[in-house]
């Protein structure tokens, strides 16, 4: 077997040359780092990074705790960085693109971009609260934010045709998150130096603009669906025996129903999360604020419970979307309240949220600036 021996020694020698090139190796290492840092699959665009323990089986919790406390990689440490921190460049320049590269499905990609956009907003909030939002950082944040937000919109419109339920789900969540953060940045940036105030205001405005764009795109999608449904029904009337046309119109109706159900589920979970948050920080709130939050929770729960009621203005979808948006806003404010202890933020969202609600009750595009409206949504069935 001399021949074969020679063959295999040649083979061995040659195959040893097959190696990862240095950049390939580095890219893989980063992907692995990112996977380790996130530890858990990314669930939804709104959910704040869930505790890594959440998805881990109990037996693993101590091990994970050890990893988090002791053996933390740079990329993990970078996760909490804000612009100006040494590790921020790693967060935005390395770990995030690495995760982007990992996302496979369109939904996962959209979820990821939505989350990165939310991170930019959260970073802006942290800086605004410190009074440290400068024109330069605000611009950088806004650019990065817009890039991710645009990606979300693009994916939503790409997915629209094929999977209208997922598309509507993503844009409803993202829209509600934009509404929440826009209001929060505005509230947080209300103090501090002139630059901080100005930049927070600018940022809040552009987030709201983005939210309007998302809502608008969403409305167009609804119209398209409705038209499609309409033509489907015509087809059914004309060719009553045409099974294909019949099933087409049913599919459309089912998709609408599925969208409603998803948004409803999202609204409920978000509200639950807000309630949990509230019970956690309740002790640190004064009576008045607590009462406001309670009233708010009650109102949202009612909105979720009654959104199918056909009385009053607005479609079922508009109502349940409003509920989701309100719940997300409340949740975001409660989260900020816990994060920035010592500042009372809560009365502000009341105004903002009712402002939003009032606007959406008018129906159309009249979502102007933050007009303070009377906190009684008159058209809601009570």
Residues that bind another protein (CB under 8 A): 1-4, 6-8, 10-20, 24-25, 27-29, 31-32, 35-36, 39-40, 55-57, 59-60, 62-63, 66-67, 70-71, 73, 102
Closer CB to another protein, residue 7 or residue 298?
A: 7
Closer CB to another protein, 63 or 338, in the complex = 63
Which residue number, 104 or 311, has a Cβ lying nearer to another protein?
A: 104
| DSSP, residue by residue, 292-357 | HHHHHHHHHHHHHHHTT--SSSS-HHHHHHHHHHHHHHHHHHHHHHHHTTT---THHHHHHHHHHH
User: Could you tell me the smallest distance in angstroms from the CB atom of residue 83 to another protein?
Assistant: 28
Question: Per the structure block, which two tokens stand in for 90?
Answer: 């790693």
Q: In the complex, what is the shortest distance from the CB of residue 162 to another protein, in angstroms, rounded to a whole number?
A: 21
User: How many other C-beta atoms lie within 10 A of the C-beta of residue 135?
Assistant: 11
Report the residue number, 11 or 372, with the smaller CB distance to another protein: 11
Number of Cβ atoms within 10 Å of the Cβ of 86: 9
* 3 state DSSP class of 58: helix
Q: How far is the CB of 24 from another protein (least distance, A)?
A: 6
Cα dist. 249→32, 123, 243, 245, 256 in Å? 45, 45, 10, 6, 11
Measure CA 343 to chain center.
Answer: 25
CB of residue 221 to another protein, shortest distance in Å: 33
Cβ 52 to another protein shortest distance, Å: 9
Complex with another protein: residue 109 or 273, whichever CB lies closer: 109
Helix ranges restricted to H, the chain: 2-15, 22-38, 61-69, 74-78, 88-90, 96-102, 106-130, 135-160, 164-188, 194-238, 243-281, 287-306, 316-339, 347-361
Residue for token pair 């240095």:
22
**Of 65 and 376, which CB lies nearer to another protein in the complex structure?**
65
Q: How far is the CB of 112 from another protein (least distance, A)?
A: 15
Please report how close the Cβ of residue 57 comes to another protein at its closest, in angstroms: 4
Residue with tokens 């807000």, as numbered in its chain: 274
Sole residue written with tokens 């440290």: 132
Secondary structure class of 19 (helix, strand, coil): coil
* C-beta of 78 vs 214, nearer to another protein: 78
Q: How far is the CB of 119 from another protein (least distance, A)?
A: 22
Sign, CA dihedral 162-256-321-211, equals positive
Residue among 25 and 339 whose Cβ is closer to another protein: 25
Is residue 110 within 8 Å of residue 152, measured between CB atoms?
A: yes
Place of tokens 């595009």: 365
Query: Minimum distance between the CB of residue 358 and another protein, rounded to whole angstroms?
Result: 46
Smaller CB separation from another protein, 21 or 86? 21
């Amino acid at each position: 077997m001399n021949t074969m021996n020679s063959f295999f020694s040649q083979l061995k020698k040659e195959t040893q040359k097959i190696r990862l090139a240095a950049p390939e190796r580095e890219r893989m290492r980063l992907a692995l780092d990112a996977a380790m840092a996130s530890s858990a699959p990314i669930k939804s665009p709104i959910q704040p990074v869930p505790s890594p323990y959440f998805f881990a089986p109990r037996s693993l919790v101590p091990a994970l705790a050890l990893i988090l406390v002791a053996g933390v990689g740079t990329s993990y440490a970078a996760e909490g960085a804000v612009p100006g921190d040494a590790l921020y460049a790693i967060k935005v320049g390395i770990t995030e693109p690495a995760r982007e590269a990992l996302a496979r499905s369109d939904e996962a990609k959209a979820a990821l971009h939505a989350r990165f956009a939310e991170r930019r907003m959260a970073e802006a909030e942290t800086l605004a609260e410190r009074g440290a939002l400068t024109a330069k950082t605000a611009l950088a944040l806004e650019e990065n934010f817009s890039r991710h937000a645009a990606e979300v919109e693009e994916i939503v419109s790409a997915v629209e045709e094929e999977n209208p339920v997922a598309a509507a789900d993503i844009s409803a969540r993202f829209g509600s998150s934009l509404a929440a953060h826009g209001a929060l940045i505005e509230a947080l940036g209300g103090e501090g130096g002139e630059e901080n105030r100005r930049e927070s205001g600018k940022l809040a405005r552009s987030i709201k603009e983005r939210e309007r764009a998302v809502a608008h795109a969403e409305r167009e999608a609804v119209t398209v669906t409705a038209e499609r449904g309409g033509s489907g029904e015509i087809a059914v009337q004309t060719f009553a025996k045409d099974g294909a046309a019949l099933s087409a119109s049913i599919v459309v109706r089912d998709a609408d129903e599925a969208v409603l159900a998803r948004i409803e589920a999202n609204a409920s979970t978000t509200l639950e999360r807000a309630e949990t948050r509230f019970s956690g920080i309740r002790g640190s709130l004064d009576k008045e604020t607590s009462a406001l939050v309670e009233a708010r929770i009650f109102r949202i729960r009612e909105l979720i419970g009654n959104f199918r009621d056909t009385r009053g203005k607005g479609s079922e979808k508009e109502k349940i979307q409003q509920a989701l948006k309100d719940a997300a806003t409340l949740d975001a404010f409660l989260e900020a309240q816990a994060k920035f202890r010592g500042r009372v933020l809560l009365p502000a969202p009341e105004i903002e949220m009712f402002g939003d609600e009032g606007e959406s009750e008018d129906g159309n595009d009249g979502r102007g600036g933050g007009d303070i409206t009377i906190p009684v949504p008159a058209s809601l069935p009570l």
